[in-house]
A and B are shown apart, each in its own frame.
Chain A
C-alpha cells in the first residue's frame, strides 16, 4: 500500500509540473509582449524595455521557465507588480481566509450530505427520498453564485436580515455564514446522490442480507456492514467536490466581497499582475491534486484487498 501511495504522490507531482507548464505558457510565454501587455498601450518604449529587462524577457523562453520554476521550488513566487511586495506575503492572509472558508464549507456540507444520502437510501422511494432527490437536482442545476444571490435575498439584509451579505473587516463571525452556506449548497448535491446510489447498492448486496439473516441488529448492519463498503466510491466524489471548492471559491468570494485568494486572483487579473496570477492558479491546482490524492488513499485504505496485499 505504501508503494501505491508513493506512486500516486509521484503522479501528483507530475500533474503539478504539467500545470506549471500550462500556467507559464498562458501567462508569460504566449506570443505577444508580456511587458507591453502589463503596462498597457500607452506606456513609453523606455518603460516597456525596462520591464522587459526586469522580467528577463530577453532570455529564451525555456530559460525563463526554468528560472521561474526554480524560484517556485525554493518557495520564491516572485514579486507582485502592483504593490511591489513578495507574492508569498501578499497571499499569506487571503490563503488562510480562503482555506478556512473552504474547510468550513466542507465540514458543513460533507456530513450532512452523507447523512441525507444514507437516509434517502434507507427510505428509498418514500417521501424523504423523493424530496431529497428533487432538492439536490434543483440545487445542482443552479450556478453557485445564483444560489448565493438567492441566499442573500432570503437571509440577508433585504430578506430576513439574519446575516450580513457583504464581508467587512469590522464584521463578526456571522458574516461567514452566507459564503459558507453558498459553497456548501454547491458542493453537497453530487455527494448526496452518490451516497444514496452507493448505499442502495450495498444495502441490496448479499452480504448485507446475510448479516440481517444472522440476526445482526439494524444499526450494526448499517455501520459495520454497509458503511465501510460505501466509503471508497463516495470518497472519490467527496474529493472531486472539495477539489472543486478550490476553484469555485473564486466566484463566491467575489460575490460576498470576501478577502480570499479568489478576490486576489480577480484583482491580479485586472492589474495584469502576472506573478500573482501564476501563484494563485498553481495553488488552486495544488489543492485540487492534494485532495484527490487523499481520496485515493482513503479509497485504497477502505479496500481490504489492497490493504492486505501491499502491506
Chain B
C-alpha cells in the first residue's frame, strides 16, 4: 500500500514525491458533429508513485479522459479546450511523431479486456518487443528487458512462453502480459482502464497487487479507471469521481470514503454492495419440504464433466445464492434446473414432483412456475418487439390468452418497478437497468414460484445493480423463491439467506449466509472473502451497513 505517499494536499495531489508528472487542466472533449461535451473542464494531477482512482458509471466520460492522456481521441471526438501535460510535455504541441514517441515511454495504457486488446495473430515476443520501441536498444538488450519485466509480473520468461499466442494464456496471464507491455518502456504515467473487470476475485487480487507494486517500484503515476468503488478504495491514493463528464469530487481516498461531499459520490458509495461478514440475522436451516430439491446432479457437455454430485435446495420465499467463479459450473447448474441444459443425471424435484431433463419434456405448468432471467439484458430482449409483446409472449404460451392483456403487462411491469408506459417501447429505447427490469417483468408475468437469476447484475453499473437487488428483495417478500447465481460474494451477503459455494463443479460449502460469511469452513470460501476488495462506510448519513437489508425491505416500487 502506498497510501502514505502524497497525502499532504487534499485536492490537488501530493507534491512531496516531486512535481506532479501528470497534470490535466480544464480539459474538454466534444463529440463531432453534435458538439456535445463528453467531458468538460476536467482538471487532475497525479504525482510519481501514486495512483489516482477515476470513478464513475458507464457514460461518465472516464475512458474518454483516460485516452486523452495518451493524446488519443475516439472516432468523431476531439479536444476543444484545456491542456494535458505528461512529464513536462504539453500533448497538444506534439507532432504525430512526437505522440508516437511519447506513447509507451512517457505514458502507457492497460486495456479493459486483454483478450481483445492483445493481437491474436502475433506472438507475445513480438507484441512485448514492439512496446519497447527504442531504436537505440540492441536486440539482446531488448530481449533482456522483456524477460526482466515478465519476471516482475510473475510470468515465465523462457522462449517457449514468449513464442506463445494470446489465446494460449489464461485471462489472468493475459492481463499480466498487458501490464508487462505497459511497464516495459518504464513509463512516467500509466492509464489503467478497468483492467480487472473480466477477472474473478482471486485473479483480480493478484493483478491489483502487481499493479500496486509496479507503480511504486517504477515511480510511475497511475490513473486507475473503474466503476467499482470497492477496488478503487483498496488501491488508489486519491479518488476523482466523474459524473456526466465532470469531476464532481476529488480528494484523498480516506477522506472521500469518510466524508463524501458530493451527493453523487454518496450515491456511488452506498450503491456498492458491502461484504458483510457479521451481523446477519441468525437463519437456521429452513424446515419442511423444499420447493426445489436438487440431489446428486452430474452434468456436462459431451465428455466434459462440469458438475459433480450437486445437492442444493430452495424453500418457498427463500433466496439461495450460488456463488462461484467463471467456469465453476454455476450457469450449467441453473440452466439444468430451468430445463435449458439436458445433459445431466440426478434428481431435480420441484414442489414434490420430479422435473424431466429438458424443458420440452416438462409440462407447461412446470415451465410456468420456474422462470429464468439471463445475464446480459442487451442480448436477452428481441430488438424488434415492443416490451408489451416480450412480456405477453411467454404468458400466452404458458398461461393462455389473457382476457385483458394490458392489465397483465401493467402488472408485470409494476412488479419490476416500471411504469405501464414502458409497454410501448422497444428495447433500444431503454437503458441497461431498464432492460433488465423488463427481463424480470417478463419472467414474473407468469407468476412463477421460482425465479432463477443468472448473474443478472454483472453487465450493469453498481448503482443500477443496487436497484435491481432491491427489486429482487421485494419479489422475495411477496413469496417468490430465488436461485441467485453470482460471482460477487458481496452481493451474496446482501440478498441471500443461504449460500452454496461452487468450486470446479463441486459444492464445497453450503449454509446460512451469516454462518458462511463469518465462519467459512472451506479454504476456498475463506480465500474468496479475503480477496474481495471492501471498505468501511463511515460518513454521516451513510446507511448503516448492517442494516441495509432491513432498511430496504419494504419495497415494491421505486
Contacts and interface: CB of A to CB of B under 8 A. Distances in A.
B117 A215 contact: no
Contacts of B108: 213-214
A206 B109 CA distance: 12
B133 interface: yes
B121 A214 contact: no
B189 to A, nearest CB: 12
Interface stretch (B99-107, B206-214, B520-528, B535-543): B99-107
A96 B336 CA distance: 62
B103 A225 contact: no
B168 to A, nearest CB: 7
B103 A229 contact: no
A304 B165 contact: yes
10 contacts: A207-B119, A210-B119, A213-B108, A213-B109, A215-B103, A215-B133, A216-B130, A228-B121, A302-B121, A308-B168
Residue of A205, A210, A303, A304 ringed by the most chain B CB atoms within 10 A? A210
A220 interface: yes
A220 B103 contact: no
A91 interface: no
Closest 3 CB pairs of A and B: A215-B103, A215-B104, A228-B121
A3 interface: no
B181 interface: yes
A224 B126 CA distance: 10
B126 A215 contact: no
B117 A207 contact: yes
A1 to B, nearest CB: 14
Contacts of A211: 119, 130
A208 B111 CA distance: 12
A300 B377 CA distance: 35
B108 to A, nearest CB: 7
Nearest to B74: A209
B181 A215 contact: no
A9 B109 CA distance: 45
A57 to B, nearest CB: 52
Nearest to A232: B121
A212 interface: yes
A229 B117 contact: no
B192 to A, nearest CB: 12
A270 interface: no
Contacts, number: 75
Contact of B181 (A204, A214, A302, A305): A214
A42 interface: no
Given A224-B122, A228-B121, A210 B130 contact: no
Contact of A304 (B70, B105, B117, B120): B120
A215 B105 contact: yes
Contacts of B349: none
A228 B122 contact: yes
B118 interface: yes
Interface string A209-250: 111111111001000110011000000000000000000000
B113 interface: yes
Given A206-B111, A213-B103, A214-B103, A220 B130 contact: yes
A308 B118 CA distance: 17
Is the interface on chain B under 10, 10 to 19, 20 to 34, or 35 or more residues? Answer: 20 to 34
A225 B127 CA distance: 9
Given A206-B111, A308-B165, A214 B120 contact: no
B167 interface: yes
A228 B103 CA distance: 23
Given A216-B100, A228-B122, A305-B120, 13 more contacts: A206-B117, A207-B119, A208-B119, A213-B103, A214-B130, A214-B181, A215-B103, A215-B133, A220-B130, A224-B130, A225-B121, A225-B122, A305-B167
A215 B105 CA distance: 8
Given A224-B122, A305-B165, A308-B165, A216 B133 contact: yes
A307 to B, nearest CB: 8
Contacts of A220: 130
Given A213-B72, A216-B133, A229 B105 contact: no
Given A214-B130, A215-B105, A304-B165, A206 B113 contact: yes
A207 B118 contact: yes
A214 B111 CA distance: 11
A68 to B, nearest CB: 44
Given A220-B130, A224-B122, A228-B122, A215 B100 contact: yes
Contacts of A206: 111, 113, 116-117
Given A207-B119, A225-B122, A212 B72 contact: yes
A229 B120 contact: yes
A205 B130 contact: no
A154 to B, nearest CB: 40
A213 B121 contact: no
B131 interface: yes
Interface in B167-186: 167-168, 181
B197 to A, nearest CB: 13
Contact of A213 (B70, B105, B122): B70
A164 B103 CA distance: 57
Interface string A111-129: 0000000000000000000
Contacts of B130: 211, 214, 216, 220, 224
B100 A217 contact: yes
